[in-house]
Chains A and B, each alone.
Chain A
Amino acid sequence: MAINNTLTLGPHLFNWPAAKKLDFYKMIANEADVDVVYVGEVICQKRFACWGDIYDEIVTELLSSGKKVIISSLALINTAKELEKIHQYLKNPAVIVEANDVSVLNIIGNNDFCIGPYVNIYNEDTLSFYANLGAKHVTLSPELPKDSIRILTKNKQLEFEYTIFGRLPLAISARCAHARIYQQQKSNCRYVCEKDLNGLPVTTLDQQPFLTINGLQTMSYTYCNMVNEIDELLSMGVSRFRVSPQTGNILDTLACYRRVIQQEISAEEGANILSSLYQDADFSNGFYHNTSGYKMFKNQQFGSHQ
């Protein structure tokens, strides 16, 4: 039985050097089993300088390979300059734009668009507003408990996407903790965030892993892993599943989730594959189960990571 679903690759959130990013996206274009690829700088306006010309090259490469491309905006927009890339791609009929900040909606005009996970949609009324505004789909906030998802997905005007893998975005600031940790300031940061390809881990004074710093963004330390919840998400009407790239074997990660979604392998088999692909990662799914985000709910038991 074919299951109506779309597998997506979320925007690459870390400040990889341009050449490495280009190689990554060429590999995705040529080898990845994925339907939609989000491209864009979500974290920091200063990083546009790091992308340089490869931004447009990546989009072209992906479109040529037959994948759909969505252009992701910054998650925190203060100035009109930060919308430049969005303005550019609004003129390109081959792509649509993902609004991660409400500022984008002020310039969207009649173009198709989708809403990203950084824009708050907690209830039916807010969802209706965005559906009526013309959003094609929304990527739900990772914070939403399943009861909320169940209610929101009753709206049949648009599709729903949900993040099933990767470190979760927890906060974004105008101030750069990454620069601060390296004894720099944001204004002359020397792009120190480039040193941490998977984010910079933060531990408590008791050496307990807690968070991850990625430029202006604070992320979970844990990797969200919703492999056990895919069945339930499908039954609720979620049809799009987002994998957020970390360092590691992205091709096998995407393939594994694809097979679980298509019911070619069981969730348990999928979980085993993912554990072996990410042996050092702590997985979590707590938000969905209406508890602390860092926790892992399995078979009526909550686990936590010491």
Chain B
Amino acid sequence: MIDIVCPAGTLPALKAAVDGGADTVYVGFQNETNARNFPGLNFTTADLAAGVDYAHANNAKVYVAINTFATAGSTDLWKQALADAEQLQVDAAIIADIGMLAYSKKHHPKLRRHLSVQASASSVDAINFYAQQFDIKRVVLPRVLTIKEIEHICQNIAVEVEIFAYGGLCIMAEGKCLLSSYATGQAPNTKGVCSPASHVRYINQDENLVSKLDQFTINKFSMDEKAGYPTLCKGRFNANDITGYIFDEPASLNIIDMIPRLLQAGVVALKIEGRQRGQAYVSKVASEFRKAIDNALYQETTKQNFGDLSEGNQSTTGAIDRVWL
């Protein structure tokens, strides 16, 4: 069985996701304790109380992302978020900061702890360390692991594994990136924002649209090009006499083809990125993944039911690694 974990930026989005069949939704509070700290997004404690009620009444779970790194001298904000999460009976808190993991274990032992992708726990050793020290129940794996690495990890740890299945992805190791902070002074790690809108400008220059982050030009688009958002690692730059997307082409993650292998490996949850996205996006992605999972399960069951008859029936849809390394 694999759960689909859907993002919900607002209470109506949470309800829509639950109505659409999400097994779990994940949310954040309206402050920098989460890594999607955008204006107009996220939950008050009242929103979350209503959201938890609604989800639980419909057999769905709610996780709260408290996944940024608490600032020195201001840790009360994160500690309050942990207390609220427990009090509101969420099903898990997704945490990255070791200080907050330790605090949560000591003061909120019954609050289920999941290790955020922001903890950048990319090895068996790292995951086992976190599991042993902080009693985490699940790890969300960083997004550049290959299927083989994921399988290896699943075989060598005792906690559940959740992986990102669809949506925007970081090129750099999550939780260890200071790029936005270098260019704008706004940090994902402590403020929950990357390449923030408050620092973005679009300028018409000759026949191009230039996207800028503070004083740095991140990209230029001609009239017939679709303009993208200037996330700084996804811009076009010059290096060594070449010009282009030197880090990677802007693209979405989509592991739908790997679902059979992930099922085999023992992954328990697929996470869809996008708390800042609209309800239509979330519904559509969730239902496609639901179909794919049900399909894979059906094929597995069919394979077993049919015994010898299924030998020639190739059930894999091809676990092709995206070649980006």
- Contact surface of A with B, Cβ cutoff 8 Å: 75-80, 82-83, 101-107, 118, 120, 122-130, 141-144, 147-148, 151-152, 168-177, 180-182, 185-187, 200-208, 210-211, 213, 218, 220, 286-287, 290-294, 304
Contact = CB atoms under 8 A, between A and B. Distances in A.
Given A120-B69, A151-B73, A175-B248, A208 B217 contact: yes
Contacts of A82: 123
Nearest to A105: B129
Contacts of B132: 106
Contacts of B185: 286, 290-293
A123 B72 contact: yes
Interface string B238-261: 111011001110000000000000
Given A200-B240, A291-B185, A122 B144 contact: no
17 contacts: A76-B176, A101-B120, A103-B129, A125-B99, A129-B99, A130-B98, A152-B72, A200-B239, A201-B239, A203-B239, A204-B238, A210-B183, A211-B179, A220-B182, A293-B178, A293-B181, A293-B185
Interface in B206-247: 210, 214-220, 233, 235-240, 242-243, 246-247
A194 B103 CA distance: 44
A143 B181 contact: yes
Nearest to A294: B182
A122 B70 contact: yes
B189 to A, nearest CB: 7
B220 A103 contact: no
B237 to A, nearest CB: 5
Nearest to B132: A106
B72 A78 contact: no
A205 B217 contact: yes
Given A102-B121, A123-B70, A292 B214 contact: yes
Interface in B88-124: 96-100, 102-103, 119-124
A209 B172 CA distance: 20
Contacts of A171: 172-173, 176-179, 233
Contacts of B235: 204
B189 A148 contact: no
Given A123-B99, A152-B72, A185 B238 contact: no
A204 B237 contact: yes
Nearest to A204: B217
Contact of B247 (A102, A177, A187): A177
Contact of A126 (B99, B123, B210): B99
A103 to B, nearest CB: 4
Contact of A203 (B173, B189, B214, B238): B238
B98 A202 contact: no
B179 A76 contact: no
A169 B179 CA distance: 9
Nearest to A176: B325
B184 interface: yes
> Which 4 pairs from chain A and chain B are nearest by CB?
A125-B99, A126-B99, A293-B182, A171-B172
A144 to B, nearest CB: 8
B121 A205 contact: no
Nearest to A128: B99
B309 interface: no
B39 to A, nearest CB: 21
A210 B121 CA distance: 29
A201 B239 CA distance: 6
B128 interface: yes
Nearest to B153: A78
